[in-house]
Amino acid sequence: MLFRQMKLKVKGSFVIADICKDGVIIASESRANIFDKTDREKKPIAYYDLEQKVFPMGNCAIAQTGQGLILNVFFSAIVKQFAQTVTLPPVNNILPAFLQYNQSHSPAAALSEIRKQKLFAAGYMDEHPTICYFNEAQSPPFGCIQDEGFIQSAPTFFGNNAPSNLSAEDSGDLAEEAIQAYAKEGERWKTIGDPVSVLLITQGGHEWIKNMPPVQNWTYVQDFVRDYRSGKAEINLIPPATRKELDDLLSTVG
């Protein structure tokens, strides 16, 4: 992959991972907003609802919140390359292995951006459902829970209603409701929105039980802009931004 600095940035997302009666569910919405990183206020000028944020890999998965673009490369493409290149370790070592991989294969500027993400991994260790996380702002930055509990990227009412005996379907529904309620507060809708996708991970594999996300075929931001210009990807303006402002910003990606 060829990383390079960009004026355009993409960010946003919310993740809830829960150990339920049937396995582990990971829920995330699909909104990503676009802004000019030279703008001091980083005000989003538009958004799209096509961003995949949960990435299954056999009987485990990685999820992220933060930036959809790492410099000019989509985070989904970085995860895909990692999964195709590395023999996956046990779930408690997936995130350290992912960061180590990028330390070896990505330039320093890209690695710095990757480490700003909130990362999640879920799967099984010796028949125990497990959720792990990485957050460089915390100490220690890595951690895992097993057999019961949940992790969410910010507090919601999910924490008051998530007993470990919920079915995957009920846990997924609750996570969807919690994300939607969180998004409705203030201006969070600019970075968090529908649809909410829910992945179930069991010892035997994984399945999407709600809103399977669209296949992510973009490696570089140029691929996304090409799809937008051909009408294959929809971008919604955030007032008072104008279509000219958006097109001028997209024109900087080449």
* Cβ atoms within 10 Å, residue 111: 16
The ranges assigned to domains in the chain are 8-248
pLDDT at position 164 is 73
Per-residue pLDDT 10s for the chain (254 aa) are: 889 898 998 988 899 999 999 999 999 999 999 999 888 888 999 999 989 999 999 889 999 999 999 999 999 999 999 999 999 999 999 999 999 999 999 999 999 999 999 999 999 998 999 999 999 998 899 999 999 999 999 999 998 876 678 999 999 999 999 999 999 999 999 999 889 999 999 999 999 999 999 888 899 999 999 999 999 999 999 999 999 999 999 999 86
CATH fit for domain 8-248, picks 1.10.1670.40, 3.60.20.10, 1.50.10.10, 3.30.360.10? 3.60.20.10
Q: What value, to the nearest 5°, has the Cα angle with vertex 162 and ends 156 and 165?
A: 165
pLDDT at 134: 96
| 170 in Cβ contact with 18 (< 8 Å) | no
Question: What torsion do the CA atoms of 75, 76, 81, 87 make, to the nearest 10 degrees?
Answer: 100
Element (H, E) at 83: helix 75-85
What pLDDT does residue 162 have? 67
Instruction: Give the model's pLDDT for residue 11.
Output: 87
What does residue 74 show for φ and ψ, rounded to 5 degrees? -70, 140
CA separation for the pair 69, 11 (Å, rounded): 7
pLDDT, residue 42, reads 84
Beta carbons within 8 Å of 165's beta carbon, 6+ residues apart:
20, 21
8-state DSSP, 252: G
Percentages helix, strand, coil for the chain (3-state, rounded to 5) are 30, 30, 40
